[in-house]
């Protein structure tokens, strides 16, 4: 029995702010990630107050004070400035993608490369030309170009002057940017994702709900609402410009289990799914907030600013497929919410990673049952330390991780879930979003930024090439139903 359908989209994904580099080249403006530092568990945002004094503040929940300015400061490392320098290595990288047999490659268009401040009347022609040559090269090599319109890199000017996604004006400017992309790359790009992990603002603060003030909770829900409105408007415009476009939105998967059979723990788990998965998913797929949304607004004293016009926009801007990222699962109980510690049913590997391949299959079945749409795994991978050994990177731990997760995708397909494709995170090593590190490596291709961005295929590169060429058959024949050893 064939485990994956013909035309299954195998490939990998990246994000501009972590991978692209060229932060001050080609007419690109600054994004918020350009003032985010590296080397700390909680990344910092750097800025200058109205008196000219420099500051570095925790990124999550940060609001720029009045009359202050974001700034790049001396004595700080800003790894996103270079990323993995795809800006200068894109031809080499695409050639390597072709060698792996990629059928699809998902990248982010950097909004500030097309509209440096976000407010310009016309897009930056150098930015349009940069991405067009990439899409043309991918197509020439038989690789389907896919685009995420927003992956955390709002133009810095909009963050500073408008408060970013706290403003309806940012919605309008995003929609203008999205329309520019749809028109500029019509015929080159068919698969689009509006936002990456659109549920993450709420999900991140919900990990430690007592830590954050009511103002931060209000901001997270309001910003998420404006993103959902912007997404719905972009979906409508994208379909009008080219009816062949297939447009999705990316949800951060949250497979959460109850820590015990205690009914209160079970209800806590269900509430986590409601807040962190169904809340945004229902809006994107069904066009309306779930019936239980007011319960969660009330719990955090949220007063959502939403108009009747926006409700209509949400109704008419639903997505074509459900894309999501998946890395691990969590457990929940009444005392800790979904941060209830390690799952005793899961094992830790030799690198200290605890992951849950079966949670991927569970999530896919639950989501398809709820929404009935095709699903697309657009991020799944292992970040860890790799060791360069005589010009080779032996990464059996990554191969094991990917094999076990791909096996679970195959089982989901056999369950009857329509799956469009599977994209490894990431095609090549890049800057960690959480910490700004380079040493936490996810790529199938090793990138050495201390050696001019030199690329080296890892063992997983060659393994994944064989997986793709066999359409997923070159995995262990017995995928099994049991948890990985």
Is the pLDDT score of 141 beyond 60? yes
Task: Give the 3-state secondary structure percentages of the chain, helix then strand then coil, rounded to 5.
Answer: 40, 20, 40
Q: How many CB atoms lie within 10 A of CB 212?
A: 18
Question: Residue written as tokens 């407010």?
Answer: 119
Q: How many CB atoms lie within 10 A of CB 367?
A: 22
Q: How many CB atoms lie within 10 A of CB 298?
A: 9
The full set of domain ranges for the chain reads: 9-28+80-469, 40-76
Which CATH superfamily includes the segment(s) 9-28+80-469? Glycosidases (3.20.20.80)
Mean pLDDT of the chain: 94
Q: pLDDT tens for residues 201-238?
A: 999 999 988 888 999 999 999 999 999 999 999 999 99
Residues 8 and 471: their CA atoms lie apart, in Å, by 8
Look up residue 416 and give its two tokens. 């009857």
**What backbone phi and psi angles, to 5 degrees, belong to 148?**
-100, 125
Pairing of strands 321-325, 246-252: parallel
Residues 442 and 323: their CA atoms lie apart, in Å, by 20
Residues 131 and 137: their CA atoms lie apart, in Å, by 10
Residues 198 and 194: their CA atoms lie apart, in Å, by 9
* Percent of the chain's residues with pLDDT above 90: 87
Q: pLDDT tens for residues 339-363?
A: 878 899 998 776 667 899 999 999 9
Q: Once rounded to an integer, what is the mean pLDDT over residues 57-77?
A: 89
The alpha helices in 242-291, defined as continuous H runs, are 263-273, 279-286
Residues 138 and 145: their CA atoms lie apart, in Å, by 6
Q: Once rounded to an integer, what is the mean pLDDT over residues 251-267?
A: 96
Hey, which residues are catalytic here? 197, 379
Q: Residue 484: its pLDDT value, please?
A: 34
Q: pLDDT tens for residues 122-132?
A: 999 999 999 99
Helix (H, G, I), strand (E, B) or coil at 355: coil
Q: pLDDT tens for residues 1-46?
A: 679 999 999 999 999 999 999 999 999 999 999 999 986 567 899 9
Q: Residue 363: its pLDDT value, please?
A: 98
Q: Residue 482: its pLDDT value, please?
A: 38
Q: pLDDT tens for residues 427-475?
A: 999 998 888 888 889 999 999 999 999 999 999 999 999 999 999 999 8
Contact of 342 with 270, CB cutoff 8 Å:
no
């Amino acid at each position: 029995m064939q485990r994956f359908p013909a035309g299954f989209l195998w490939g990998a994904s990246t994000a501009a702010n972590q991978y692209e580099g060229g932060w001050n080249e080609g007419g690109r403006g600054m994004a918020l990630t350009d003032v985010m530092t590296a080397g700390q568990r909680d990344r910092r945002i750097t800025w200058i107050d109205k008196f000219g004094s420099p500051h570095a503040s925790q990124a999550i929940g940060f609001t720029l004070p009045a009359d202050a300015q974001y700034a790049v400061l001396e004595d700080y490392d800003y790894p996103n400035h270079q990323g993995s320098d795809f800006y200068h290595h894109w031809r080499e990288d695409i050639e390597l993608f072709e060698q792996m047999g990629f059928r699809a490659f998902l990248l982010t268009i950097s909004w500030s490369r097309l509209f440096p401040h976000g407010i310009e009347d016309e897009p930056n022609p150098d930015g349009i030309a940069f991405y067009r040559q990439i899409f043309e090269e991918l197509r020439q090599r038989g690789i389907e170009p896919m685009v995420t319109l927003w992956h955390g890199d709002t133009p810095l000017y909009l963050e500073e002057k408008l408060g970013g996604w706290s403003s309806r004006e940012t919605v309008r400017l995003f929609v203008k940017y999205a329309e520019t992309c749809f028109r500029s790359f019509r015929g080159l790009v068919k698969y689009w994702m509006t936002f990456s992990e659109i549920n993450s603002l709420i999900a991140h603060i919900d990990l430690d709900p007592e830590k954050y003030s009511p103002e931060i909770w209000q901001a997270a829900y309001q910003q998420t609402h404006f993103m959902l409105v912007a997404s719905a408007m972009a979906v409508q415009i994208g379909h009008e410009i080219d009816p062949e476009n297939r447009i999705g939105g990316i949800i951060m998967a949250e497979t959460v289990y109850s820590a015990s059979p205690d009914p209160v723990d079970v209800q806590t788990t269900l509430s986590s799914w409601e807040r962190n998965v169904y809340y945004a998913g229902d809006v994107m797929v069904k066009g309306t907030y779930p019936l239980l949304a007011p319960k969660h607004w009330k719990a955090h004293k949220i007063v959502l600013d939403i108009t009747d016009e926006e409700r209509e926009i949400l109704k008419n801007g639903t997505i074509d497929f459900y894309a999501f990222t998946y890395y691990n699962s969590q457990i929940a109980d009444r005392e800790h919410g979904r941060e209830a510690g390690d799952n005793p049913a899961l094992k830790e590997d030799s690198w200290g990673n605890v992951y849950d391949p079966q949670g991927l299959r569970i999530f896919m079945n639950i989501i398809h049952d709820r929404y009935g749409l095709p699903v697309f795994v657009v991020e799944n991978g292992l970040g860890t330390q790799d060791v360069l050994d005589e010009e080779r990177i032996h990464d059996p731990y990554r191969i094991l991780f990917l094999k076990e997760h791909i096996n679970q995708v195959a089982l989901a397909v056999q369950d009857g879930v329509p799956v469009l494709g599977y994209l490894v995170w990431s095609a090549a090593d890049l800057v960690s979003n959480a910490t700004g590190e380079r040493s936490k490596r996810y790529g199938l291709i090793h990138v050495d930024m201390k050696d001019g961005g030199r690329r080296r295929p890892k063992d997983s590169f060659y393994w994944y090439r064989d997986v793709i060429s066999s359409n997923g058959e070159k995995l262990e024949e017995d995928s099994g139903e049991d948890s990985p050893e």
